[in-house]
């Protein structure tokens, strides 16, 4: 306590430095660091309009309702008309319109010789929007209010999330928020030089703590996360980054005798970072653990001590162990994986690169996250690869800036793009499609047949069979989502859900229909000897032959087969499809549509979960899309994909603050010559 001013502080404890604790969090933003604040320019986008004409965007043109009656009173009180341009209204009146007012006033009428009293009791447009946003949990109202608001750093803590008292404590001139804001690499450096600046007493207190912090930071450096800052929000991390943070935690725990299972840890990793990851996994093994990795990455397979190859094909044609042994032994076997490892098969480099249609889409002045005010040209009618080390700004450029701009332009998308100056060339494309790996459905009811739309054609076909026409069955009879033809015990799901209260729900086969989804009468209708259930149980390959004489159905089924999914069944529950399978079903749906040839497709790491052979098939499909005149943009680290694209945009040089610049542009051959780009170093080996 200070005796002269009387200001006192509590004794410091760890909670004082945590924004998740009431003792440490900033009271204004509750430890979030960000607030939403009404932007008056968004409320009145065009001040030349009058209130009557709809200057107040949230309320539109004048209506006969309570709000406008109050606005008329405000106009009366401050001597202006609702038909006056908003910019000419007195400032006092604007303050009442925005922030509300509560007053009585009298108006004398000369003609009638009487005085009338009026009462303004107005909450204010801005206040109402702020209160609506704060009070509502429902998304539609919150989203409506958010349209007129800006996300700003909390003015009290400047986005540090902590109360000001916590920030008064400093170690070597830095408070905890300044340290959390540094990149891992900068922070590791700061800790490396810290001991020189501490007194002897401080060193005694700090030496053990510094040792612990250093070793933890080193793990993050080892798994290639040098560009992250400790205060980065976890929801902004990619799946691969989150997985590597968990990996760093495990290496740090120094446990022995543990079996670690990793599913595709190379997701989202540049070849350079992949080498660091392999080194980290070897460290886990060397201290006495076992590591099982489900992986398609060639470097990872070749670095393993023992490989188990499952096949020979996918779906019903898989499920056997086709070879096992050291990577050297695996390469000698006659399997699909071995063919790609030993070079018998490979994804070929195109003989010549496409010239494109000569038109461009130009994004100018992108500054989101770590982007350094870059201008990027996307040549249309080509396959474009976006490359760069992990964290260099690829997703910010494409998923957070370009896609929301295009989506808002063509489909009125609500997601706000990251900051940019302007975009040119929108007239050269007619729509944008983002083909990601999110599930095609989240319940057992959705399946490839319903998603691609082929099921409605199959239902129409069954309704036209003689037996169905005699019985008067319509196409709805063959839907498991409509009462009538479905099994009513399981409501057409084929499964019953057993709720387990504190555990995840369990699905069991329906005892009435034995998982067939339909009632007995519906299953009696057959086309070429097959019931509607039998058709849903067919693999895509079987259905391709079965429906070859019915063009409407065959076209859609053939596109699913073309994307390499001949092994899945038409009625396979979408919850059992992997991300890569879901993505390829979306691709098939797009391929089966009649297109104009001016579509802009965006794919983010489509090779996730794909074997070499699947990647080859995928590239054939994507080349078909580009062959029709469309533009396909792929964010990718996989060199097999990068070497086959027509044009590369390489972002870098590093991740985080050291990234966000355009490093190299051009065909793979041109980019490979670049001296500064990490992608070029690895690409060079692939092209020769």
What SS3 class is residue 587?
A: helix
Distance, C-alpha 456 to centroid of its chain: 30
pLDDT of residue 141: 84
Q: Helices then strands (H, E): number in the chain?
A: 28, 19
Q: CATH 1.20.1580.10 in the chain, residues?
A: 448-576
User: What sign results for the dihedral spanned by CA atoms 67, 71, 72, 77?
Assistant: positive
Given the candidates 1.10.10.10, 3.30.200.20, 1.20.1580.10, 3.40.50.620, the CATH classification of the domain at 448-576 is 1.20.1580.10
pLDDT at residue 573 in the model:
87
At 97 the three-state DSSP class reads: helix
Q: Which long-range contacts (CB under 8 A, 24 or more apart) does 263-267 make?
A: 263/294, 264/294, 264/295, 264/296, 264/608, 264/609, 265/240, 265/293, 265/295, 266/240, 266/295, 266/297, 266/300, 267/238, 267/239, 267/240, 267/243, 267/605, 267/608
- How high is the mean pLDDT in each 10-residue block of the chain (688 residues)? 86 92 92 90 88 86 81 86 90 90 71 71 88 79 86 91 92 93 92 91 92 89 84 79 82 87 85 85 91 93 96 87 95 94 92 92 94 96 94 92 94 86 94 88 85 93 95 93 90 86 87 92 95 94 93 92 90 86 87 83 88 90 91 94 96 88 95 92 87
Alpha-carbon span 643 to 249, nearest angstrom: 35
CA 471 to chain centre: 49
Rounded CA separation 622/537 (Å): 28
> Can you give the pLDDT at residue 569?
93
Pick the CATH number of 360-438+595-687 from 3.40.50.300, 3.40.50.10490, 3.40.47.10, 3.50.50.60: 3.40.50.300
**Residue 487: its pLDDT value, please?**
92
- Within the chain, all domains assigned CATH 3.40.50.300 are found at 172-305, 360-438+595-687
| Distance from C-alpha of 554 to C-alpha of 4, rounded to nearest angstrom | 88
pTM over 0.75: yes
**pLDDT number for residue 111:** 62
Burial of 172 (0-12, 13-18, 19+ CB in 10 A): middle
631 phi and psi angles, rounded to 5 deg: -110, 130
SS3 425: coil
SS3 493: coil
d(CA 170, CA 179): 10
Buried b (16+ CB within 10 A) or exposed e, 404-439: bbbbeebeebeeebbebeebeeeebbebbbbbebee
Q: What is the pLDDT of residue 117?
A: 76
682 SS3 class: helix
* Polymer length in residues for the chain: 688
Residue 138 confidence (pLDDT): 67
- Assign domain 172-305 one CATH number from 3.30.70.20, 3.40.50.450, 3.30.420.40, 3.40.50.300: 3.40.50.300
Task: Report which secondary-structure segment, H or E, holds 146.
Answer: helix 139-146
Stretch(es) of the chain classified as CATH 1.10.8.280 = 36-151
Structural contact between residues 663 and 388, judged by C-beta atoms closer than 8 angstroms:
yes
| CATH superfamily placement of domain 36-151 | ABC transporter ATPase domain-like (1.10.8.280)
Task: Give backbone dihedrals phi and psi of 232, rounded to 5 degrees, phi first.
Answer: -65, 135
Which alpha helices (H) appear in 419-567, and where do they start and end?
Answer: 448-452, 454-463, 466-471, 520-523, 532-537, 540-546, 551-562
- Separation CA 665–CA 646 (nearest Å): 11
Q: Going by C-beta distance under 8 Å and a sequence separation of 6 or more, which residues neighbour residue 349?
A: 643, 644, 668, 687
């Amino acid at each position: 306590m200070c005796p002269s001013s009387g200001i006192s502080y509590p004794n410091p404890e760890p909670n004082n430095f945590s924004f998740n604790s009431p003792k440490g969090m900033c009271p204004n933003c509750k430890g979030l660091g960000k607030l939403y604040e009404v932007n008056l320019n968004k409320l009145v986008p065009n001040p030349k309009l009058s209130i009557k004409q709809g200057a107040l965007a949230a309320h539109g043109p004048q209506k006969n309702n309570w709000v406008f009656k109050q606005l008329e009173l405000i106009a009366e009180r401050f001597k202006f008309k609702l038909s006056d341009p908003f910019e000419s209204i007195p400032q006092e009146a604007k303050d009442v319109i925005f922030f509300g007012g509560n007053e009585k006033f009298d108006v004398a009428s000369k003609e009638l010789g009487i005085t009338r009293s009026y009462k303004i009791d107005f909450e204010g447009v801005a206040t109402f929007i702020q209160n609506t946003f704060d009070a509502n949990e429902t998304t539609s109202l919150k989203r409506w209010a958010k349209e007129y608001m800006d996300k700003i750093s909390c003015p009290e803590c400047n986005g540090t999330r902590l109360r000001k008292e916590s920030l008064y404590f400093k170690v070597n001139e830095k408070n905890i928020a300044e340290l959390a804001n540094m990149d891992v690499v900068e922070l590791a450096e700061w800790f490396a030089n810290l001991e020189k600046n501490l007194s002897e007493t401080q060193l005694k207190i700090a030496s053990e703590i510094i040792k612990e912090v250093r070793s933890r930071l080193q793990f993050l450096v080892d798994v290639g996360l040098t560009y992250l800052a400790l205060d980065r929000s976890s929801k902004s991390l990619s799946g691969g980054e989150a997985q590597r943070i968990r990996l760093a935690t495990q290496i740090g725990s120094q446990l022995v005798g543990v079996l670690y299972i990793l599913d595709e840890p190379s997701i989202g990793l540049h070849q350079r970072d992949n080498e660091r990851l392999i080194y980290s996994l070897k460290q886990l093994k060397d201290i006495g653990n076992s590591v099982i990795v489900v992986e398609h990455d060639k470097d990872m397979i070749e670095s393993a001590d023992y490989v188990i190859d499952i096949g020979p094909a996918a779906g019903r044609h898989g499920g056997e162990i086709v070879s096992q042994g050291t990577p050297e032994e695996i390469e000698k076997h006659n399997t699909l994986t071995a063919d790609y490892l030993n070079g018998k098969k490979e994804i070929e480099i195109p003989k010549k690169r496409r010239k494109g249609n000569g038109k461009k889409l130009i994004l100018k002045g992108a500054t989101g996250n770590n982007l350094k005010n870059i201008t990027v040209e996307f040549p249309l009618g080509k396959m474009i690869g976006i490359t760069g080390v992990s964290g260099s700004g690829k997703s910010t450029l494409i998923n957070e800036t370009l896609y929301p701009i295009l989506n808002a332009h063509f489909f009125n998308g609500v997601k706000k793009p990251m900051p940019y100056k302007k975009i040119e060339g929108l007239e050269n494309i007619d729509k944008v499609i983002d083909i990601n790996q999110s599930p095609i459905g989240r319940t057992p009811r959705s399946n490839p047949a319903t998603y691609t739309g082929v099921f409605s054609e199959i239902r129409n076909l069954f309704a036209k069979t003689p037996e169905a026409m005699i019985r008067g069955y319509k196409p709805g009879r063959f839907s498991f989502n409509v009462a009538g033809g479905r099994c009513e015990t399981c409501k057409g799901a084929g499964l019953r859900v057993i709720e387990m209260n504190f555990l995840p729900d369990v699905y069991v086969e329906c005892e009435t229909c034995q998982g067939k989804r339909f009632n007995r009468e519906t299953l009696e209708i057959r086309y070429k000897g097959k019931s509607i259930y039998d058709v849903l149980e067919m693999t895509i390959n079987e259905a391709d032959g079965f429906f070859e004489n019915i063009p409407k159905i065959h076209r859609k089924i053939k596109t699913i087969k073309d994307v390499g999914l001949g092994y899945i069944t038409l009625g396979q529950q979408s919850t059992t499809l992997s991300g890569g399978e879901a993505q390829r079903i979306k691709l098939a749906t797009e391929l089966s549509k009649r297109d104009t040839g001016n579509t802009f497709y965006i794919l983010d790491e489509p090779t996730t979960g794909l074997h070499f052979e699947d990647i080859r098939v995928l590239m054939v499909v994507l080349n078909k899309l580009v062959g029709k005149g469309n533009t396909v943009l792929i964010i990718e680290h996989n060199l097999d994909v990068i070497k086959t694209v027509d044009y590369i945009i390489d972002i870098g040089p590093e991740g985080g603050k050291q990234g966000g610049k355009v490093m190299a542009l051009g065909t793979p051959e041109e980019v490979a010559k670049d001296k500064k780009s990490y992608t070029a170093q690895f690409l060079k080996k692939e092209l020769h």
